[in-house]
Amino acid sequence: MRSVLLVEDDFFDTMTAQKAFEKFSVPHKLYTAFNGLEALDLLLGRNGVEPIRPLPEVILLDLNMPKMNGHEFLTEIRNNPELRDIPVFITTTSGMDMDRLNAQNLGVSGYILKPLDFESSTDMVDSMNLLEKLLR
């Protein structure tokens, strides 16, 4: 079964993403991690966690999280031969150009500003359309 890994520390944003997947009728099994360390555990099967297999086709990643933030997580997966090619979409409240540049330098597939509002954000709709195509 196709899957998506959502790395997000905010419960409300997690629920919003789940609703977005329903709205776009994206078939998926959604895995959730609350920070970068938990996500790596899921991807690599560390600390007694059953690994996601097959690997997720897409990762939705918040930048601002405790323990291991999105930039640190991106660096880790881009340096891992098994994980480096997984497409990553950034979801963040940060509109800072430096955050966007850092994420782009680590090869993200899309950058979505929160709060998620599918009616008014062209970038978000474009990114979700790309995500939907990747998952079909």
pLDDT in tens, the chain (136 residues): 688 899 999 888 888 777 777 777 767 788 999 999 999 999 999 999 999 999 998 898 988 888 999 889 999 999 999 999 999 988 767 666 776 777 777 778 777 766 655 444 454 555 556 566 555 5
Q: Which pLDDT score is estimated for 118?
A: 46
* pTM, full prediction: 0.79
Tell me if the bond preceding 66 is cis, omega within 30° of 0.
Answer: no
Instruction: Report the DSSP beta bridge partners of residue 31.
Output: 5
Do the Cβ atoms of 36 and 7 come closer than 8 Å?
Answer: yes
Q: Which pLDDT score is estimated for 129?
A: 61
Distances in Å between the alpha carbon of 65 and those of 39, 99, 120?
Answer: 12, 14, 25
Q: Which pLDDT score is estimated for 120?
A: 47
Do the Cβ atoms of 60 and 110 come closer than 8 Å?
Answer: no
Instruction: Report the DSSP beta bridge partners of residue 33.
Output: 7
Do the Cβ atoms of 111 and 127 come closer than 8 Å?
Answer: yes
Q: Which pLDDT score is estimated for 135?
A: 57
Instruction: Report the DSSP beta bridge partners of residue 92.
Output: 113
Instruction: List, in order, residues 6 or more apart from 96 with CB less than 8 Å away.
Output: none
CA 73/CA 108 separation, integer angstroms: 12
